[in-house]
């Protein structure tokens, strides 16, 4: 049997690992037998040399089984999970979970908190008064059985290998590796009990994959490795050169989600939810094709069934369901400021990361894991790429409880909204759907 050092040599020299070797690496690392410096060396070797789809699938399997694997077999139906690779102001889970569940596909989702300029679904949900995201696995499964959906914080015994590996990747410049990203994403979904997965791979300035070619390569490998593991994985590619919808911030995005569930949401967010939701309904076998699925989703919105499911969901996780009918029950910000266009022209594009950073400055995000967030803080964009603006016309509204942050947030936001002289077409949201 090879030593850990010999396993590192294999990858350093461009060789391939067996399933057994990858299982040993993961197990040794999680148990503490393999120290961080050895895993750091192996991660860099894997980053530089790459891995075949088979190796990636074996790594993924080993990671998924490094902790508890949730058994959702007691929940009838195909369990379809959805994941998006980061982004700014991405409100989709808040809309999709109740929308898809209202059409009969069970949603059992574990989610994360926001860090840096991207927001986290859990922080958004916790802005609903009373809403709890910390539940044990038994309570989680029960909520899915009763209400048809639950979204909770990933418990520490799920995929501990990913937690430990990601923390090392983050500080060793080994995050943007296709096999390591695929292993990280799919292993969490497999451990969470998903039968099928819909992935929204974001491309652009606000995303993790900055170019379309990189995003396509990632999407193809996600699908291939999912298939090797017996999970159906469907990917779409969407533009993240501008934030999704108009709201960026926790309670602001809950408001936006409620509006979208009533059929009154921003066009881009609504369309993305219909496209992702249709794929989930087809994978979940409640619709024969995406056209039929889309009709089901639209009738769930029009009839109020999607909003009813939202209310039931919020109540089951301890939140106040009355927010669905009275958004003034959500936390608000004491201070607002309208940001105005410095010149006349057309909005030529956004630095989505910069928009996220402006929202963070206002208190909507955290720089470090332990930082508190201000649930009422954030911003609402009044413009999209391609819109005409006049000097002094409103571009956005800032919301915060700390007025000392308004100047810096305004400066960041103005840097992140580009206004040019040329009239331009709004860019397509979907690169591949
Ligand atoms: N998202 C993840 O969960 N893991 C990665 O490695 C990258 C994005
Ligand atoms: Ca949004």
Helix H or strand E encompassing 93: helix 92-102
Ligand nearest to the CA of 253: 2
Task: Please report which confidence band the pLDDT of residue 69 belongs to, taking 50, 70 and 90 as the band edges.
Answer: very high
Residue 338 lies in a domain: yes
Average pLDDT score over residue span 105-114: 88
Q: Could you tell me how far CA 281 lies from the centroid of its own chain?
A: 19
Shared-domain flag, residues 123 and 257: yes
Ligand nearest to the CA of 43: 1
| Domain-ending residue, one of 327, 348, 378 | 327
Task: Please report which confidence band the pLDDT of residue 206 belongs to, taking 50, 70 and 90 as the band edges.
Answer: low
- We report the CATH number of the domain holding residue 213 as 3.40.1030.10
Q: Whose CA is nearest to atom 7 of ligand 1?
A: 181
Q: What is the pTM of this model?
A: 0.93
Q: What pLDDT sits at residue 432?
A: 81
| Packing angle, helices 267-283 and 250-261, rounded to 10 | 70
Q: Is the pLDDT of residue 143 over 80?
A: yes
Test site for ligand 1: of 183, 185, 191, most ligand atoms within 8 A of the Cβ = 185
Q: What pLDDT sits at residue 433?
A: 79
Average pLDDT score over residue span 261-269: 97
Shared-domain flag, residues 263 and 144: yes
Shared-domain flag, residues 284 and 396: no
Task: Please report which confidence band the pLDDT of residue 176 belongs to, taking 50, 70 and 90 as the band edges.
Answer: confident
Residue 427 lies in a domain: no
Q: How many CB atoms lie within 10 A of CB 113?
A: 18
List active site positions: 83, 162, 169, 184, 188
- Expressed in angstroms and rounded, the spacing between residue 7 Cα and the centre of ligand 2 is 45
Task: Please report which confidence band the pLDDT of residue 118 belongs to, taking 50, 70 and 90 as the band edges.
Answer: confident
| Tokens, residue 103 | 């059409």
Ligand nearest to the CA of 85: 1
What is the pairing mode between strands 232-239 and 196-203?
parallel
More confident: 113 or 228: 228
- Expressed in angstroms and rounded, the spacing between residue 354 Cα and the centre of ligand 2 is 15
Exposed e or buried b per residue across 228-244, where buried means at least 16 C-beta atoms within 10 angstroms of its C-beta: bbebbbbbbbbbbbbbb
- Expressed in angstroms and rounded, the spacing between residue 24 Cα and the centre of ligand 1 is 22
| Domain-ending residue, one of 280, 298, 327 | 327
Task: Please report which confidence band the pLDDT of residue 115 belongs to, taking 50, 70 and 90 as the band edges.
Answer: low
Residue in 314, 402, 369 with CA at minimum distance from that of residue 124: 314
Test site for ligand 1: of 110, 184, 208, most ligand atoms within 8 A of the Cβ = 184
| Tokens, residue 62 | 């080993």
Per-residue pLDDT of 187-201, as tens digits, reads 999 999 999 999 999
Q: Whose CA is nearest to atom 6 of ligand 1?
A: 181
Shared-domain flag, residues 98 and 231: yes
Domain count across the chain: 3
Of the given ranges (255-269, 328-342, 353-367), which has the lowest mean pLDDT? Answer: 353-367
* Inter-CA distances, 152 with 24, 149, 386, 394, Å: 30, 10, 38, 37
What is the pairing mode between strands 232-239 and 430-432?
antiparallel
Shared-domain flag, residues 156 and 26: no
Shared-domain flag, residues 8 and 126: no
Shared-domain flag, residues 319 and 338: no
Shared-domain flag, residues 191 and 146: yes
Shared-domain flag, residues 220 and 348: no
Residue 300 lies in a domain: yes
Q: What pLDDT sits at residue 128?
A: 98
**Nearest atom in ligand 1 to 183's CA:** 6
Residue 68 lies in a domain: no
Test site for ligand 1: of 43, 163, 181, 182, most ligand atoms within 8 A of the Cβ = 181
* Inter-CA distances, 259 with 151, 264, 301, 386, Å: 20, 5, 10, 24
Q: What pLDDT sits at residue 253?
A: 97
- We report the CATH number of the domain holding residue 387 as 3.90.1170.30
The answer to whether the CB of 218 falls within 8 A of the CB of 186 is no
Residue 387 lies in a domain: yes
- Expressed in angstroms and rounded, the spacing between residue 266 Cα and the centre of ligand 2 is 9
The answer to whether the CB of 222 falls within 8 A of the CB of 233 is yes
Q: What pLDDT sits at residue 71?
A: 94
Q: Is the pLDDT of residue 87 over 80?
A: no
As a whole number, the mean pLDDT across the chain is 94
Ligand nearest to the CA of 185: 1
Average pLDDT score over residue span 85-92: 81
Q: Whose CA is nearest to atom 3 of ligand 1?
A: 185
Q: Is the pLDDT of residue 326 over 80?
A: yes
State the Cα–Cα distance between residues 388 and 424, nearest whole angstrom. Answer: 9
Q: What pLDDT sits at residue 31?
A: 98
Shared-domain flag, residues 14 and 100: no
Q: What pLDDT sits at residue 353?
A: 87
- Expressed in angstroms and rounded, the spacing between residue 385 Cα and the centre of ligand 1 is 28
- We report the CATH number of the domain holding residue 29 as 1.20.970.10
Residue 245 lies in a domain: yes
For ligand 1, residues with CB inside 6 Å are 85, 175, 180-181, 184-185
| Ordered DSSP codes for 267-330 | HHHHHHHHHHHHHHHHHTTSSSSHHHHHHHHHHHHHHTHHHHHHHHHHHHTT--GGGGT-GGGS
- Expressed in angstroms and rounded, the spacing between residue 250 Cα and the centre of ligand 2 is 9
Residue 192 lies in a domain: yes
Sheet containing 80-84: order of strands: 80-84, 196-203, 232-239, 430-432
Test site for ligand 1: of 59, 84, 175, most ligand atoms within 8 A of the Cβ = 175
Conformational region of residue 50, where left means phi above 0, alpha means psi within -120 to 50, and beta covers everything else: left
Shared-domain flag, residues 25 and 153: no
Helix H or strand E encompassing 53: helix 53-64
Using the structure block, give the residue that is written with the tokens 């929202």.
359
Shared-domain flag, residues 320 and 346: no
Task: Please report which confidence band the pLDDT of residue 155 belongs to, taking 50, 70 and 90 as the band edges.
Answer: confident
Which residues span the domain enclosing 369?
Answer: 331-420
Residue 406 lies in a domain: yes
- Expressed in angstroms and rounded, the spacing between residue 184 Cα and the centre of ligand 1 is 5
* Inter-CA distances, 202 with 81, 206, 209, 218, 237, Å: 17, 8, 7, 10, 6
């Amino acid at each position: 049997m090879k030593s850990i050092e010999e396993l590192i040599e294999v990858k350093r020299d461009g060789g391939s690992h067996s399933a057994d070797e990858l299982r040993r690496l993961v197990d040794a690392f999680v148990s503490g037998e393999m120290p961080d410096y050895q895993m750091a060396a192996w991660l860099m070797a894997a980053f530089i040399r790459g891995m075949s789809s088979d190796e990636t699938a074996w790594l993924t399997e080993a990671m998924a089984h490094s902790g508890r694997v949730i058994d959702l077999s007691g929940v009838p139906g195909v369990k379809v999970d959805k994941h998006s690779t980061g982004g700014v102001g991405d409100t989709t889970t808040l809309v999709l979970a109740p929308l898809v569940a209202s059409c009969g596909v069970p949603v059992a989702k574990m989610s994360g908190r926001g860090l840096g300029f991207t927001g986290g679904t859990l922080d958004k949900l916790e802005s609903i008064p009373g809403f709890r995201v910390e539940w044990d696995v038994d309570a989680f499964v029960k909520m899915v059985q009763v209400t048809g959906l639950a979204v909770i914080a990933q418990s520490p015994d799920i995929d501990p290998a990913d937690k430990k590996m990601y923390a090392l990747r983050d500080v060793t410049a080994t995050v943007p590796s296709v096999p390591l990203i695929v292993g990280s994403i799919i292993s969490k979904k497999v451990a969470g009990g998903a039968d099928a997965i819909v992935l929204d791979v974001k491309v652009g300035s606000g995303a993790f994959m900055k170019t379309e070619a990189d995003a396509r390569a990632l999407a193809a490998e996600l699908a291939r490795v999912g298939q090797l593991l017996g999970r159906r994985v469907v990917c779409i590619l969407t533009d993240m050169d501008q934030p999704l919808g108009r709201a960026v911030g926790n309670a602001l995005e809950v408001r936006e989600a409620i509006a979208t569930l009533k059929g009154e949401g921003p066009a881009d967010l609504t369309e993305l939810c219909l496209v992702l939701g249709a794929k989930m309904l087809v994978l979940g076998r409640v619709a024969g094709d995406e056209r039929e699925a889309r009709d089901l989703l639209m009738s769930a919105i029009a009839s109020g069934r999607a909003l009813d499911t939202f209310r039931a969901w919020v109540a089951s996780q301890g939140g106040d369901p009355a927010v669905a009918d009275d958004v003034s029950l959500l936390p608000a910000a004491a201070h607002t400021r309208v940001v105005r266009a410095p010149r006349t022209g057309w909005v030529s594009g956004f630095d989505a990361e910069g928009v996220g950073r402006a929202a963070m400055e206002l208190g909507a995000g955290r720089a470090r894991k332990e930082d508190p967030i201000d649930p009422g803080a954030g911003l609402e964009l009044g413009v999209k790429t391609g819109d005409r603006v006049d000097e002094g016309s409103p571009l956005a509204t800032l919301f915060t409880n700390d007025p000392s942050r308004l100047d810096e947030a305004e400066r960041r936001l103005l840097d992140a909204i580009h206004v040019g002289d040329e009239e331009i077409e709004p860019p397509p949201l979907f690169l591949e759907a």
